[in-house]
Structure 1
Amino acid sequence: MRQRKQFIFILCCIFLNCVQAQINKLGLPFSEYFPSAEYKGGIQNLEITQSPEGIIYVANNFGMLSFNGTSWDIHRLKLETKCRYLLIGQKGKVYVAGQGDFGYFTIDSTGQYLYKSLSNNLPEQYKDYDETWRIFKKGNELIFCTFDYLFYFNTNDELLDVKPSPADIESFYFLNNAIYVNQQGSGILKQSEKGFELIPHGDFFSDKKVSTIIPILNNELLVATQNSGLYIINSIGIKAWNKQNQQFYKDASINTIIRMSDGNFAIGTLNDGLIITDKNGNIKMQLTKGHGLENRTILSIFEDMQNNLWLGHNNGISLVELNNPFSLINEQSGLPGTGYDAFLEDKLLYLGTNNGLFYKNIDNPNNLPENFTGSDGQVYEVNKVYEKLIIGHHAGTFTIEKDQVNLISDIPGAWTFLPLKNHRPYILQGNYKGLALFKKNGNKIDFIRKIKGFSESSRLMEQADNGDIWMTHGYKGVFKFKLNDQLDSVSVKYYGEDKGLPSKLLINVWRIDNKLIFSTEEGIYTYNNDKDIFEHYPAFDEYIGAKCQIISMTEDPVGNIYYVTTDEMGVLEKNGNGQYTKHSGIFNRIKTLLNDDLQKIIALEANQVLFAAKEGFIHYNNQSKSRKVTNLKTLITDVSITHNIDSTISHGRYLTEKGIVTKQPKNAIHQIPYKNNAVRIAYSAPYMEAHERTMYQYWLENSEEDGYSEWNNKTEKEYTNLSEGEYIFHVRAKDVYGDISEESTYTFIITPPWYRSTYAYTGYISLAIILVLLIYFFYEKRFQKKTEKLTEEKEKEINRIDTELKSSEELIDKLKNEKLKAQIDVQNKELATSTMQIINKNEFINSVKGNLNTVIKRSKNQEVKQEINKIIGNIEKNIESDKDWESFSMHFDKVHGDFTHRFKEEFPDISPQEMKLSAYLRMNLSTKEIAHLLNISVRGVEIARYRLRKKLQLERSDNLQEFILKY
């Protein structure tokens, strides 16, 4: 079942599309006129072309014009002569044909266009020619056409050949890789290897002035003459192109013709402006002065990248936007005033404006709307109720009778009409002061009465399936009416915030998909009859937002929904599955043109709507050819220094091995002195449709941390007081349809000020080093002096301390010596005591021995003698014992610095007895005391002293005891 419904829906769509296909453009295309005062050039514009970047070039009386989407510039030839023709060549060169000259435009170091003449390189015999009229590219050759010669150059701008031109020719054409000319008296000739030869049937034009020749299908040629019409040449012969329009073409005086990309033809005339025809020459549209154009004479036509037409007039330039689905029904179309409502019946389109009611036959798009007599004034609604056209007007209510209007009610301000479902054939009217009732009687509609019970202005009304009538007021909320059985009054129920609505302001009611919806400040709502409240309606949230405020809305016969909100406008195209596809960007082109009083969208047929506009109406054909989307570019057009001077450093064009490019190469990064650290950068997007509404974002990397700016329509940005460093300027554009271009960048460097430059820092470092060295040497010298002073003071202090130390040492030595002396004295005393003890002992023993010897002598008893002799022997042993000496020697050496050891080492030959003698002499003992200690006589001591002197090898004068004491 579902598939069947979808199939039926698709068939209906196909049928309705076939029906609506009869409507193409109901009005005039958007166009823009550039007068000579704006582009600051001459009046004649003989040729137009476009660069791959989108820049428009025009051959003008004053030179070559260029338009980048923002501003016009003029570039003069060397002799400032007229520019007749131009051609975009390889590597970005623009070749131009001029008056008495030809050459090309290249660029200088800043990117400024620079003209270079090629005619100067011609041999002298060929320099005498009048004008260059055409430039053709044939393979790798460029052909510059004059009435005297054809000059052939290669792509390196070197002259290859010179050929004579035929005599008495009127113009040159390049078709199918060959040159054609029209020769007076002969006709159309074609260049061959033998020269120029008459083409078959070419003599037909011997007496006609040919303005254009273009190839069409099957090797046929379409030849346009200035005053003799249009003809087709083929292998069979010649025939008129569209006989029924031949006289019109003759009277129009054709100047030029081109074949457009859609197969149609654009014809530029001298007297009747622009004519658009189909492939058979049937006129589809005509634009002329006061009817879409500001000038009726067209000298040149060019179709740009967006399939729009550029027209070169005898005074001015026009852009005609054929590449969008909109057309204007305005005063130039014969419709004065602001648009409010419209209605299409059969082939007649009724248009209501603040100037009255008009009608127009859509079968003839070039005819003008006609006014209904008596309808002057504000029209609010044009509708068909019960098969009868009815008009809501400021002055009352009218019906249409043939070619005039008939007033049926003078109640002022007839807003809208609503056929009553439950009370046919009655009609409810909303007006300034409330409600009124009408009824269809036969073939006419009669006013019945005013309705009691409500007196508010009732502009928007819709009827529910149950017969309830809903009316929304702009600032009072929602009202529900119920008519009584007598149809003379209504009961009214008010709905506001207490019934679920977000507010009572800006509420409108629409019938969409056979359902009543209510648009509010906070989105779309529907009425819940069971709960008697309003609830949010989410069906369109994913497409236009849950909180959007819809200003106007309508649905066409195939279910497409057209809407206008406070933020955007668009169409929701209904798909076979019941879902929608949203298109909104295309409508940006017309949003600012809509009527801001009582906005309205009028569905005419499937995919055909009218938008009420400030100037008439805007027709939208949803099935017209899609707008051609090109690769939108943003160009840097001028970089200037503005600090103290105003000097351009770049025009955004660069000469490379590949030719002229707009992308900045690395070797073209400009260094700007710090003293000129204010930069102005101009930019433009060469997108021509509504170019004044192109928006831009920019960002200076390394200066602005927040990234891209907000979208705005500025075409230049200035930066001042930039610090030194590298900067990258980013810019991108967004056209009127919301398409965003690729990013363009420009890199530049602000060099440091002289005092922060590399040289300065080198100088700073050098000065710093010198300063450091000076400071070092200064402080070194100072340090040396201080050191010397300190050294001197230290030396003095040291000397003082040394002196004190010496005094202390002397004192210490003295104290030590005194202590040592005291110790020595003590030890000497001990030695002396020990020695005296020994001496006393020996004396005592000797005395005892002597007494014992006396006893022996006196005693007669042998045993006693023997015992006494034993005692004497023991005594002698005791006297000779070395134990006393060893003890003495140990103490002696401690007191006298190891005297015995030293003395023996130096004088090893002395005997122990002599060593003892030496020790006793050192102790300063007397000879007698020594005798007792050595147990010898005094004489023995003297002898021992003598022997000791000899061993010590002392002279006679040497005192033995002094020697030993000093040793």
Structure 2
Amino acid sequence: MVKHFFFILCLGISFFLGGQELPPIINYAPNEYGAENQNWAIAQSLDKRIFVANNKGLLEYNGAQWHLYPSPNETLMRSVWVEGPRVYTGCYMEFGYWERDLTGQLKYTSIAKKVKNGLKTDEEFWNILEIDGHIVFQSFDRLYTFNPATEEIRITESEEKISKIFKVNGSLWLQRMGQGIFQMTGGVQTPKETHDWVKDYEVVGIFPFAGGIRYLIKQLGFVQTSPKGLETCFLSVQNELSQALIYSGIHVRGGGYLVGTVRQGAYLIDEDGDVVHKINRKTALANNTVLSVFEGVSGGIWLGLDNGIGYYELQSAFSIFKDNQGNLGSVYAARPWQGNLYLGTNQGLFYRKLDTRDAFSFVPGTQGQVWFLDEVEGQLVCGHHNGTYLIDGGKAEHITRTAGSWKIMAVPNSPGLWLEGSYTGLKVLERKNDLWQVRNKIDGFDLSSRYFELYDGHIWVNHEYKGLFKLQISDDFSSVLENRAYTELANADSGLALYNDSLLYHAKSGLHVYDKKSGGFKMNEPFQSEFQEDTYISGKMISDRKAGALWLFGEQNLYRLRQGTTAEIPEITKIPLSEAFRNGIVGYESLVSIQAENQYLMGSRSGFVIMNSDKLEVKDFQVYIDRVYLLNDSKDVSKGETISKKGFTSLSWDKNNIGFTFYSPDYRKIPEAQYGYRLKGSFDNWSDWTTNSSVTFENLSPGKYQFELRAKIGNRVSTNTATMDFEIHPPWYAARIMFLIYGLMALVLARFIHQTYKGYYRKKQEQLIERNKRELDLIKAKNEKELIQMRNAKLREDFKGKSKELAASTLNMVRKNELLQKIRDELRSSNLTQEGIRSLLNIIETDLGRGDDWEMFKEAFDNVDREFLGKLQAKHPKLSPNDIRLCAYLRLNLSSKEIAPLFNISTRSVEIKRYRLRKKMQLDRDENLVKYIMDL
């Protein structure tokens, strides 16, 4: 699909010589259509596809995609003709036809190879025509007449060069250089014109007209038959055409001629010989050398260029004037008035006569920024940066010199009083003695008043940064009595307008209508519903009082509101005319009806656009599926394998990535075709409208699908819905027979699984029982362990207690014996009688010599260290009781000093006993006795 195109916005040769208002031109560059630069011939099929003979081969264009079919012998393709389903082409040493296969692609069949005795050396086929059901191929030396029904080929030789063939009134005419023009009937050539002009110069076109025949001659221009013979015609353009070097030409169905030249592009000439349009590089055509011209079935003109292809929409609803030289500037206002068309621009005020292509003239004294043009009380008023002007023909009367005049309005019921909105507020103008002057400035309001309206007894002023103001004015319009500010409505690029007795405010938040009952604004829901898919760019609203319409501007569309069946619901017309095409001054858009009600002029940044609303209506059209592709790894829809789009298509399971390209053969780009589609069986809802002419579906599941396609141009939807049915088969392992096998396998598998699970669960049950048993054993062992731990803890407590008892017993014994010894020693040293002392000493000695202390100690020691004495006796059976007793004391880690009282001996005697004990135990000198005993 074409991604880039240029709209022709052309002024003409110069500003002072006049300007051209031209329909759009679209340029297709070689890199867009994917072939070489030169394009020698153009044809169109009944389904509106365009075919172009290009240096590289046959180009096909359907309005969305270009397809190139290389020349069969890789030579330059010079000619193309479409007849029925066949596309006939001619190139160097080859001619034949192309037919479409089930996938939608063209396949070539050679006719040249069927010619007996072959072709002449270096033959090229420059022209192809259909005459009486036969196809005639023309080279410079021969005519080959092919009968499609019988495939018979008839050859007509010529001694002279055949420059070109023509179809005139249903018969074949040809030019034989040096001989003239001949008519060929039944193989017989009859001279038709032998004037030197048609003998010596190459004839480009032959056109019947009411008075005879017109010839378009390459070096001369137009000549025509007359009673006196051939004579020149169209003298006003004759010299220019001859110098431009004519190369091609056709008669346009609506009247007039389109002439392609080598040097100056194309000329559209009316039946009187006047130039209607010049289409060349100055008017945005890509190239000045026009090799071929063709009028499509819808009236569009195709130009085969030396470098590219041009499309000229002759019946376009739009004509565009471009100020290429910058003399006019950006158009802020326009107004038809008393037979003139006035334009207010950033450079001043200009005018010219209506219904002419004359140059615009400057109105002296108006240089600078013009803001508005309007009719007020039967006079044309111009609002200017320098104040207000009254316009009469080509003269301007400067009536006020205020700082910027935005708008002028007559005060109701007060003839001779005007209200002016300026940069610094509102002013009242008064006419006295046919002279206008500023009567007063309305005190109390000093803001810029670009948008203001008189409504409901108040002056409403919109300041796009500070908000909307409702002003109560004194009866004499001298001051503001009350000012209510709607600051919540403050919004950049907002606008205010009075339409159909309603006050409207338009901003990014929407179109609002003033409600008198509530004193506030409410949303206009019908307009918002239409506008929701567009993008807000400007709050400017233009009230067309003559047509009773209100115009609003979106990024993608124009909107016209008219009174509907009820006051609440206006009739809304959406015109698909984007801001990119309008090229308007955003926020300062201008639109005015000129001449007829259906013709409107819109100002642009570099000229203006004229719109004919009657031509906006789109005729019925259809949409088609172009190609169906099986996508490869690249997922590029144009690189996949094409498949049949006819009937019901069956695809294997692994071909489940599918792409569609589609088109509607409408070559206008304003408005551009949009497409909607759905894939029933997968995506049952229609897609959003899109200009993309292809779609892909990936990883589709097996099943039956139906692809449905529709198109929309402007507000009209295609009369048909294109469809394609296809099925993606399941893989072999998902076939029906496989499901029977899978069923049997499932039964066997179920039985196996049942048995397996049965054994498994039996084993699991046994494992569970075993695990439970182990767990019970573990619990039992754990309980026993805990019991043992409890017993051990009790034993440790008992041991601890016994140890304390042993320590206490030992300590008591030591202290008792020490006490008795001290008493004994004291008694020995006292003055008691010997008999008394002896009696006490006997008692003490008897007590010290008693062995029951040892027995008590031994019993306590056994409770604490039950195994020691047994181990000691087992290892040293020869130890005496005193030795065992000494070992017990040493086991308690008592010192010799502490042991001495227990034996009732001295410390020295204890050391001797320890020495003897070592010998009995046979310990080495280096071995510690106490450590040895402690380790037992």
Number of equivalenced pairs: 729
TM-aligned CA distance change 1:640 to 1:214, over 3 Å? farther
Corresponding residue of 1:634: 624
Mapped partners of 1:578, 1:322: distance in 2: 40
Corresponding residue of 1:134: 127
| 1:524/1:546 contact within 8 Å kept | no
Per-residue CA distance 1:788-807 (angstroms, 9 max, x = gap): xxxxxxxxxxxxxxxxxxxx
The reply to whether residue 262 of structure 1 matches residue 254 of structure 2 is yes
Corresponding residue of 1:716: 694
Mapped partners of 2:230, 2:627: distance in 1: 50
The reply to whether residue 83 of structure 1 matches residue 77 of structure 2 is yes
Mapped partners of 2:620, 2:122: distance in 1: 42
Q: How far apart are 1:434 and its partner, in Å? A: 1.3
TM-aligned CA distance change 1:109 to 1:544, over 3 Å? closer
TM-aligned CA distance change 1:576 to 1:694, over 3 Å? closer
Per-residue CA distance 1:555-601 (angstroms, 9 max, x = gap): 65753525226595355789999999968355446786354323332
Corresponding residue of 2:870: none
Candidates 291, 298, 315, aligned match of 2:307: 315
Q: How far apart are 1:167 and its partner, in Å? A: 0.9
Per-residue CA distance 1:452-499 (angstroms, 9 max, x = gap): 2211221123446x98644344462353463664x65444553759xx
> 1:216-255 maps to which residues of 2 (within 5 A)?
216-217=209-210, 220-233=212-225, 237-255=229-247
Corresponding residue of 1:877: none
The reply to whether residue 285 of structure 1 matches residue 277 of structure 2 is yes
The reply to whether residue 39 of structure 1 matches residue 33 of structure 2 is yes
| Matched residue SS, 2:241 | helix
Q: Which amino acid aligns with 2:626?
A: I
Q: How far apart are 1:177 and its partner, in Å? A: 2.2
**More displaced stretch, 438-447 vs 723-732:** 438-447
Mapped partners of 1:213, 1:712: distance in 2: 44
Q: How far apart are 1:533 and its partner, in Å? A: 5.3
> 1:364-383 maps to which residues of 2 (within 5 A)?
364-365=356-357, 367=358, 369=360, 378-383=369-374
Mapped partners of 1:546, 1:158: distance in 2: 60
The reply to whether residue 679 of structure 1 matches residue 658 of structure 2 is yes
Corresponding residue of 2:600: 609
TM-aligned CA distance change 1:76 to 1:446, over 3 Å? farther
Mapped partners of 1:100, 1:441: distance in 2: 88
Candidates 727, 734, 745, aligned match of 2:705: 727
| Matched residue SS, 1:199 | strand
Corresponding residue of 1:965: none
Mapped partners of 1:460, 1:158: distance in 2: 76
| 1:481/1:492 contact within 8 Å kept | yes
Candidates 335, 343, 349, aligned match of 2:341: 349
Higher helix proportion: 1
Mapped partners of 1:216, 1:408: distance in 2: 58
For normalisation by structure 2, the TM-score amounts to: 0.68
| 1:333/1:369 contact within 8 Å kept | no
Mapped partners of 2:231, 2:200: distance in 1: 16
**More displaced stretch, 558-567 vs 403-412:** 403-412
Corresponding residue of 2:573: 584
Per-residue CA distance 1:179-221 (angstroms, 9 max, x = gap): 2122333332221346323215655522333211123346x32
Mapped partners of 1:52, 1:651: distance in 2: 27
TM-aligned CA distance change 1:249 to 1:682, over 3 Å? same
Query: How big is the alpha-carbon RMSD for the aligned residues of Structure 1 and Structure 2?
Result: 4.5
The reply to whether residue 105 of structure 1 matches residue 92 of structure 2 is no
| 2:652/2:731 contact within 8 Å kept | no
Candidates 329, 343, 361, aligned match of 2:321: 329
The reply to whether residue 69 of structure 1 matches residue 49 of structure 2 is no
Q: How far apart are 1:29 and its partner, in Å? A: 0.8
Q: How far apart are 1:234 and its partner, in Å? A: 6.0
| 1:551/1:564 contact within 8 Å kept | yes
For normalisation by structure 1, the TM-score amounts to: 0.66
| 2:621/2:664 contact within 8 Å kept | no
Mapped partners of 2:566, 2:697: distance in 1: 54
Per-residue CA distance 1:19-62 (angstroms, 9 max, x = gap): xxxxxx98221221112232232222222222233322111122
Q: Which amino acid aligns with 2:87?
A: V
The reply to whether residue 206 of structure 1 matches residue 184 of structure 2 is no
Per-residue CA distance 1:277-303 (angstroms, 9 max, x = gap): 333333333333222533333222222
| Matched residue SS, 1:206 | helix
Q: How far apart are 1:144 and its partner, in Å? A: 1.0
Q: How far apart are 1:526 and its partner, in Å? A: 6.6
Q: How far apart are 1:709 and its partner, in Å? A: 1.3
Q: Which amino acid aligns with 1:293?
A: L
The reply to whether residue 561 of structure 1 matches residue 549 of structure 2 is yes
Q: How far apart are 1:701 and its partner, in Å? A: 1.4
Q: Which amino acid aligns with 2:199?
A: S
The reply to whether residue 746 of structure 1 matches residue 746 of structure 2 is no
Mapped partners of 1:105, 1:691: distance in 2: 32
| Percent identity for Structure 1 against Structure 2 | 24
TM-aligned CA distance change 1:27 to 1:539, over 3 Å? farther
| 1:636/1:683 contact within 8 Å kept | yes
Mapped partners of 1:606, 1:164: distance in 2: 58
TM-aligned CA distance change 1:541 to 1:81, over 3 Å? closer
Corresponding residue of 1:181: 174
- Which ranges of structure 2 fall in alignment gaps of 5 or more residues? 1-18, 760-936
The reply to whether residue 160 of structure 1 matches residue 150 of structure 2 is no
Mapped partners of 1:450, 1:175: distance in 2: 76
- Which ranges of structure 1 fall in alignment gaps of 5 or more residues? 1-24, 655-662, 783-967
TM-aligned CA distance change 1:577 to 1:297, over 3 Å? farther
Corresponding residue of 2:298: 306
TM-aligned CA distance change 1:141 to 1:169, over 3 Å? closer
> 1:514-593 maps to which residues of 2 (within 5 A)?
515=501, 517-519=503-505, 525=513, 551=539, 553-554=541-542, 559-564=547-552, 569-571=558-560, 584=573, 586-588=575-577, 593=582
Q: How far apart are 1:171 and its partner, in Å? A: 1.5
